[in-house]
Amino acid sequence: GENVEQHPSTLSVQEGDSAVIKCTYSDSASNYFPWYKQELGKRPQLIIDIRSNVGEKKDQRIAVTLNKTAKHFSLHITETQPEDSAVYFCAASMNTGNQFYFGTGTSLTVIP
């Protein structure tokens, strides 16, 4: 099955700086890559996603890039704010089943 690795496991940045979280996947058949934000004790919430026919997608301060050849994708958060502090999970999925294979998560702390 699919194996998703996520790095780093923890990340601290100063408010206003950028944060980058990277994920790699193993199965070249994966073609849908969502990112979820989970605040303590709350549900995972979809913040951005990308499909394999696109190399980059941006939504305000959040962007995701995908390199299909290298089988990795990254989340970029610019101008970070304290409310961005949370655990972020990447996932990979294939059209055939829509099972999500999640990474192990990155705990992001934005220091005011």
81 binds other proteins, rule: CB under 8 A: no
Asked if 54 is part of the footprint of other proteins (rule: CB under 8 A), the reply reads no
Residue 36, helix vs strand vs coil:
strand
Distances (CA, A) of 79 to 5, 16, 46, 53, 104: 25, 4, 20, 28, 24
CA distance 50 to 35: 9
CA 43 – CA 40 distance, rounded (Å): 9
Minimum separation from the CB atom of position 45 to other proteins (A):
7
Which of 22, 49, 57, 65 binds other proteins (CB under 8 A)? It is 49
Q: Is 42 in the site for other proteins (CB under 8 A)?
A: yes
According to the binding rule CB under 8 A, does residue 27 interact with other proteins?
no
Residues in contact with other proteins by the rule CB under 8 A: 6, 31-32, 34, 36, 42-46, 49, 51, 89, 91, 93-105
